[in-house]
Amino acid sequence: MKKICIIYTGGTIGMVPTERGYAPRKGYFSQALAEIDELQKPEVPDWEMVEFDPLLDSSNVAVNEWNRIGRTIRDRYDDYDGFVVLHGTDTMAYSASALSFMLDGLDKPVIFTGSQIPLCMLRSDARDNILTSLMIAGEGKVREVCLYFAGKLLRGNRSTKSSADRFVAFDSPNCAPLANAGIDITYEEGAIRHFRSDRKLRGPLGMFGGRLRLSEFQNTPIGVIKVFPGIQFRLFEQVMTDSLSGIVLETFGAGNIPEADGALLPMIRKAYENGTVIVVCSQCPQGTVHLGAYEASAALVGAGAVSGYDMTTEAAIAKLYYLFSQGLSRDDIKHYMEIDLRGELTK
Ligand code: ASP
C-alpha cells in the first residue's frame, strides 16, 4: 500500500469564515479530512498529514516557507511514496516553481494543490483536488514537482494562476498538461520528465549523485520590472545598486522594450557592471522571448541581459533564488539561467 504525506501549509482549502473574512484555523482541517469517506477508501493511498504552524494565507509564503516545505519533504523522503502540498492558490505557482529547483534529484511525486472554495463551503472544489492529487501521487507515474487543479496535472514550474474566480484557476501555456483527470486519469507520456534527464547536466549543478538533495534558498534581493508604454526608466535608477542580485524584466512580445527616454539601456548596463543578472521574460503568457529578433530587443543582449525564453515570471524568480543560493559566479548564473534545469524552459 502506497503512503503519501500531506503537507498542509494553509490557503483557502482549509479556511473557515471569520468576521474578518476567510482564515485558517489550527487543528480543524485534519479533523475535516478524516471525516471524508472517499479519502479512507482502499483505492486511495494511505496518507498522513503534517500541519504547518502558523497556517498561512499564501500571500505570506516566501523563501523561509519554501525552505520549510523543502525540509519537511527531505526529512520524510524515505518514509513516503509521495507528497501532496496543500497551499493557497495565490502564490502556489511560485512555490511549486521554487520547490522544483530546491529538490535536486527528486524521484517521487510532489503535488501542489488547493481550492477556490473552502472545503467547509457548498460547491467546494477541495474534495476532488485533494482526492485526485492523492491518487496521482500514489500512482507515482509523475515524479517531479507538479500542480494539480480542476482536472489537470501541470508541471509546477510551468504553471501560473490564470483566474481569481474560476475553478480552472491554473494554466501552463507553454507546456502540455502532464495528465488529464476525466473519467480516467490519462498521462501524457511525452510531456512527463524523468529523473534521469537531470543527469545530462554537467558542472556544479549536475553532481548530486542520484540522491535527493535539498538546496535551501537565501533571501536574495531580486526585482521584477514590468515594461509598459510610457515607462520612465529613470525612476528605477536608484534601485539599480550593486545590492540587487537579479531582475526579471517583463518585456513586450518576444523581448522588446521601448526606447522611451533612452534611460533603460544605460541603466541595464549599470546593473550589469554592478553584477546584477537581468533576465528577459515576456508579458505574453504563451510563446518565447527571442532576443535580437527585433531592433527593439537587440540592444538588451549587448547590455548583458540573458533570455528567459518561455519561462514564466514565477519560474524565473524561483530560478534566480536557486542559482544565487548555490554560490555560483555571475557568469555561471547567467549560463544556467538559459539552460533547462527542471523542464522550466524550451529553447
Ligand atoms: N488567499 C488564498 C491563498 O492564497 C487564496 C486561495 O487559497 O485560493 O492563500
pLDDT in tens, 118-152: 999 999 999 999 999 999 999 999 999 999 999 99
pLDDT at 245 over 70: yes
| Share above pLDDT 90 across residues of the chain, in percent, rounded to a whole number | 80
* Mutational pocket test of ligand 1: of 9, 15, 29, 58, the residue with most ligand atoms within 8 Å of the beta carbon: 58
Whether 205 is in a domain gets the answer no
CA nearest ligand 1 atom 8, residue: 89
- Does one domain contain both 251 and 170? no
Grid cell 518514509 in the structure block, residue: 79
Residue 259 pLDDT exceeds 90: no
Instruction: Assign 160 a pLDDT band (cuts: 50, 70, 90).
Output: very high
Pair (257, 328) in one structural domain? yes
* Most informative mutation of 13, 18, 90, 120 for ligand 1 (most atoms within 8 A of CB): 90
User: What's the 193 CA to ligand 1 centre distance in angstroms?
Assistant: 28
Q: Are residues 13 and 123 in the same domain?
A: yes
Which residue do the cell numbers 539599480 mark?
A: 240
Mean pLDDT of 148-173: 98
282: confidence class by pLDDT, cuts 50, 70, 90: very high
pLDDT at 340: 96
Kindly state whether residues 27 and 104 are assigned to the same domain: yes
> Domain for residue 342, yes or no?
no
Q: How far is CA 281 from CA 29, 162, 284, 321, 347, in A?
A: 39, 17, 9, 16, 13
Q: Between the CA of residue 187 and those of 55, 88, 177, 193, 228, what are the distances in Å? A: 33, 25, 9, 12, 39
Atom of ligand 1 nearest to the CA of 57: 9
- By mean pLDDT, which of 62-76, 135-149, 243-257 is the weakest? 243-257
Ligand 1 pocket test target in 8, 9, 12 with most atoms within 8 Å of CB? 12
More confident site: 203 or 338: 338
* Domain co-membership, 123 together with 247: no
User: Total domain count for the chain?
Assistant: 2
Ligand 1 pocket, residues with Cβ under 6 angstroms? 10-12, 57-59, 88-90, 114, 116
Last residue of a domain, one of 137, 166, 198: 198
Q: Is residue 279 situated within a structural domain? A: yes
Say yes or no: 152 and 239 in one domain: no
Q: How confident is the model at residue 300 (pLDDT cuts 50, 70, 90)?
A: confident
Q: What is the pLDDT of residue 170?
A: 98
Ligand 1 atom with the shortest distance to the CA of 92 = 4
pLDDT band, very low/low/confident/very high, at 302 (cuts 50, 70, 90):
confident
CA of 274 to the centre of ligand 1 (A): 37
Answer with the one of 166, 198, 230 that is the final residue of a domain.
198
Q: Are 56 and 24 in contact (CB under 8 A)?
A: yes
Residue 96 lies in a domain: yes
Average confidence score pLDDT of the chain: 92
Model confidence at 207: pLDDT above 90: no
Q: With respect to residue 208, please indicate whether it lies within any of the assigned structural domains.
A: no
Q: Which residue in 9, 12, 89, 288 is the catalytic one?
A: 12
Least trusted range by pLDDT, from 169-178, 256-265, 269-278: 256-265
CATH number of residue 264's parent domain? 3.40.50.40
pLDDT score for 269 = 79
Q: How far apart are CA 138 and CA 83, in angstroms?
A: 9
Q: Which of 198, 232, 257 is the last residue of a domain?
A: 198
Instruction: State residue 242's pLDDT score.
Output: 80
Residue 55 and residue 88 share a domain: yes
Instruction: State yes or no: is 91 an active-site residue.
Output: no
Distance 88 CA to ligand 1 centre (A): 4
pTM across the whole model: 0.95
Look up the CATH number of the domain holding residue 98.
3.40.50.1170
Atom number of ligand 1 nearest to Cα 59: 4
> In percent, how much of the chain has pLDDT > 70?
95
Nearest CA to ligand 1 atom 7: 88
The mean per-residue pLDDT over the stretch 290-319 comes to 90
Which residue has the CA at smallest separation from atom 1 of ligand 1? 57
Give distance in angstroms: CA of 170 to centre of ligand 1. 13
Distance 164 CA to ligand 1 centre (A): 10
Interacting residues of 79 by C-beta distance below 8 A, sequence separation 6+: 3, 5
Strand residues in the chain grouped as ranges (E) = 3-10, 15-16, 23-24, 46-56, 82-86, 103-104, 110-113, 145-149, 152-155, 160-161, 170-171, 179-181, 185-187, 213-214, 222-226, 246-251, 277-282, 306-307
User: Is 315 part of any domain?
Assistant: yes
Q: Give the domain range for residue 231.
A: 221-337
The answer on 252 and 152 residing in a single domain is: no
Cα 139 to ligand 1 centre (Å) = 27
Asked if 260 and 165 sit in the same domain, the reply is no
Contact 298, 307 (CB under 8 A): no
More confident residue, 340 or 267: 340
For 76-124, the pLDDT digits (tens) are 999 999 999 999 999 999 999 999 999 999 999 999 999 999 999 999 9
User: Looking at the domain assignment, is residue 138 inside a domain?
Assistant: yes
**Ligand 1 atom nearest to 115, measured from its CA:** 8
Give which of 198, 113, 199, 202 is closest to 159, Cα–Cα. Answer: 113
Do 14 and 150 fall into the same domain?
Answer: yes
End-to-end Cα spacing for the chain: 40
**Is the domain of 185 the same as that of 107?**
yes
234 and 164 in one domain?
no
